[in-house]
């Protein structure tokens, strides 16, 4: 989370939520982190991206999107990890 969004969280504040298997057999661990206001997430993300650019590197992520429902995922541009849709659906189903 710190690398992608510029937000640091202590290990004890993270909750292992789901384990996924990708199309190529990769295994992923998804953790839930403490909630933060949108404005704070966007500020941290912008600062992390700027820091990457100042060192001559391109950020791994070029944008963040907050979804209000799984249906909004279909409208997103760009490549997506193969495990993203199932994780998003599961998140909204449990809420």
pLDDT at 73: 93
Question: What's the number of CA atoms in the CB half-sphere (13 Å) around residue 40?
Answer: 6
**N residues, the chain:** 95
What confidence tens digit (pLDDT) does each residue in 43-56 have? 988 888 888 889 99
pTM of the model: 0.75
pLDDT at 22: 83
pLDDT at 83: 86
The average pLDDT across 65-71 equals 93
Return the number of other C-beta atoms located less than 10 Å from residue 49's C-beta. 21
């Amino acid at each position: 989370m710190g690398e992608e969004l510029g937000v640091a969280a202590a290990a004890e504040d993270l909750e292992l939520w789901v384990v996924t298997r990708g199309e190529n057999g990769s295994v992923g661990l998804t953790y839930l982190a403490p909630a933060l206001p949108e404005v704070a997430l966007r500020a941290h993300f912008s600062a992390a991206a700027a820091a990457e650019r100042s060192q001559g590197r391109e950020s791994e992520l070029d944008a963040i999107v907050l979804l209000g429902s799984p249906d909004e995922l279909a409208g997103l541009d760009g490549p997506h990890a193969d495990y993203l849709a199932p994780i998003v659906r599961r998140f909204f189903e449990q809420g």
